[in-house]
Amino acid sequence: MSTAKPASTPVVELRGAVVELPGGHRALDRVDLEIRAGEIHALMGQNGAGKSTVVRALAGVWPLTAGTMCLDGAPVHVRSPKASRAAGIATVFQDAQLLPHLTVAENVMLGREPRGRWGIDWGATRRHAHELLTELGLEDLDVGQRLARLPVATRQLVAIARAMVDEPRVVLLDEPTAGLQQVDVDRLFAVLRRMRDKGVAIVFISHFLEQVFAISDRITVLRDGAKAGEIAVGDLDRVELISMMLGADLPTLQQLASQRAQHSEVVEGVPLLRAEGIGRANAVRPTDLALHGGEIVGLAGLRGSGRTELARLLTGHDRADQGRLFLSGAALRLRGPRQGMLHGLVLSSERRNDGGIIRGLSVRDNLILSLQALRGWNRPIPTKEREGIITWALRAFGLGEHVLRRPVDELSGGEQQKVALARLFVTRPRVLVLDEPTRGCDIPAKVDIQRLIATLAGEGGTILVISSELDELVRLADRIVVLKDRGKIGEISNGPGVSVDTLVELIAASD
């Protein structure tokens, strides 16, 4: 890790950079960023924070709608990928721009092949490619090998070598380690360090916190499209960094004490749902998890840490490719969400429109639909039972009778979320997995939903809650499982000593 203080003018600089998408959404909001020669600069932030947008802006894919980009201190207009390349910026997009049926040498040199009298000089092409790979420490790659025969990780390295052909001054890498094994990550990092030591400025994005700490010299943290802070890795305070990613209101959150004071009773007996080493390539590392009847378990972690992915494995929305599930001690194999539902394992997705509610249909129809689907369409629910269910749902969720006939999309965000949850509650699930159940809700709706979750558990329901608002987990959960970098890193039973701080420290702690 280089600790030298940067003194030079940045190679590339953003000042007050704004990227406004069609529709007016600001994917980037007045961001300042300085990219220096010989530094690996990591962009961090939760999903949707704007990291890829920075890369797209620098790459000329999404030009700035306001603000300035400077090259060696002078303003430049980068309005196309071509202009970005002309400015000495190379972007490594995953795999996409490589041609699998060509050789390594051809891919590296594509469009830049040395020419002789008779056209492309293939000997020189291979030699050049080999030299370039050697400079990156990849001399063992066989330049005559067809790309299609090489593993993905090696192709990734070829893509980087290809980016180096034009001798760029800045190289942008958006999640180059996604899907790579540790040995491949090490190899990639060795290449990046070599490039850095040659004076190339590197912009690097990864979801894996530990990778960012290992490779980068400087970190810019983004949140909701804006810059939340910048840290030199030498002075890294992990807790501060995670707090920056999570949001500025953390100090307030930290004031909140656990409201569930008496919660550390030991859970015993056969868990209702137990996962043993369950995982899925590139999504969740093998994870153990047990949910006992009547328990509320929280799933904490940054967005992108694998929480949603784990929730999907537990409910049959994605197929696990390793590990096993047990329901009341009996092995269970889930082949799809419907099968999960038939076993009483139900997921409420973080995106309401993603199966949570059906737009255009009335609240009444939405409330009944899940239950009807579960029973089968040829077995109508008797009127009396149906009305009973609707009355219960309205009362439980504090929804007025007047909403029943209205299309659900006309309701407020909080009301829509209540309908989405009520739909699932009426099916009386054995295990309810709630992904961000209160996101986008106002405070009263949040409180209502939290109260309902607690009530459901009080009646014996078992609930797994994912929330980006750590105080919500501290308030609700009996136990909190912490995920980081797509795997479980810890588990704590909630109680008087547990606070938002405890969770932040767990996430920030080094492996």
Ligand X SMILES: Nc1ncnc2c1ncn2[C@@H]1O[C@H](COP(=O)(O)OP(=O)(O)O)[C@@H](O)[C@H]1O
Binding residues for Mg ion, rule: CB under 5 A, are 52
* Residue 220, strand partner residues: 43, 230
Distance in Å, CB of 23 to ligand X, minimum = 8
Evaluate whether 16 touches 9 at the Cβ level (below 8 Å).
no
Is residue 243 at the binding interface for ligand X, with CB under 6 A as the rule?
A: no
Query: Which segment (49-57, 231-239, 256-264, 419-427) binds ligand X by CB under 6 A?
Result: 49-57
Distance in Å, CB of 62 to ligand X, minimum = 9
Is residue 245 at the binding interface for ligand X, with CB under 6 A as the rule?
A: no
Is residue 67 at the binding interface for ligand X, with CB under 6 A as the rule?
A: no
Tell me the two tokens of residue 254: 């930290």
The footprint of ligand X on residues 335-364 (CB under 6 A) is none
Q: Which of 10, 35, 53, 211 binds ligand X (CB under 6 A)?
A: 53
Is residue 47 at the binding interface for ligand X, with CB under 6 A as the rule?
A: yes
Provide, for the chain, the percentages of residues in helix, strand and coil under a 3-state DSSP scheme, each rounded to the nearest 5.
35, 25, 40
Is residue 45 at the binding interface for ligand X, with CB under 6 A as the rule?
A: yes
Tell me the two tokens of residue 420: 């989405």
Among Mg ion, ligand X, none, residue 80 binds (CB under 5-8 Å by kind): none
Residue 352: DSSP 8-state:
I
Distance in Å, CB of 47 to ligand X, minimum = 4
Selection from 199, 424, 147, 466 nearest residue 306 by Cα: 466
Query: In terms of CB distance, is 52 or 315 closer to ligand X?
Result: 52
* Phi/psi at 485 (5° precision): 50, 40
Residue 323: DSSP 8-state:
E
What HEC string does 11-44 produce? CEEEEEEEEECCCCCEEEEEEEEEECCCCEEEEE
Q: Which of 36, 51, 126, 479 binds ligand X (CB under 6 A)?
A: 51
Is residue 49 at the binding interface for ligand X, with CB under 6 A as the rule?
A: yes
Is residue 21 at the binding interface for ligand X, with CB under 6 A as the rule?
A: yes
Distance in Å, CB of 55 to ligand X, minimum = 8
Is residue 81 at the binding interface for ligand X, with CB under 6 A as the rule?
A: no
Instruction: Indicate the Cα dihedral angle 39, 40, 44, 48, nearest 10°.
Output: 110
Query: In terms of CB distance, is 52 or 91 closer to Mg ion?
Result: 52
Residue 411: DSSP 8-state:
S
Query: Which segment (47-55, 120-128, 163-171, 410-418) binds ligand X by CB under 6 A?
Result: 47-55
Among ligand X, Mg ion, none, residue 53 binds (CB under 5-8 Å by kind): ligand X
Selection from 142, 41, 163, 190 nearest residue 96 by Cα: 163
Is residue 91 at the binding interface for ligand X, with CB under 6 A as the rule?
A: no
Distance in Å, CB of 227 to ligand X, minimum = 12
Query: How would you classify the pairing of strands 170-174 and 201-205?
Result: parallel
Distance in Å, CB of 41 to ligand X, minimum = 15
CA 18 – CA 242 distance, rounded (Å): 24
Query: In terms of CB distance, is 52 or 125 closer to ligand X?
Result: 52
Is residue 50 at the binding interface for ligand X, with CB under 6 A as the rule?
A: yes
CA-based torsion, 186, 190, 192, 197: positive or negative: positive
Query: In terms of CB distance, is 53 or 107 closer to ligand X?
Result: 53
Query: In terms of CB distance, is 244 or 481 closer to ligand X?
Result: 244
Query: In terms of CB distance, is 56 or 130 closer to Mg ion?
Result: 56
CA-based torsion, 399, 402, 407, 411: positive or negative: negative
Tell me the two tokens of residue 304: 């992108």
CA atoms within 13 A on the CB side of 126: 10
Applying CB under 6 A, the residues found at the interface with ligand X are 21, 27, 45, 47-53
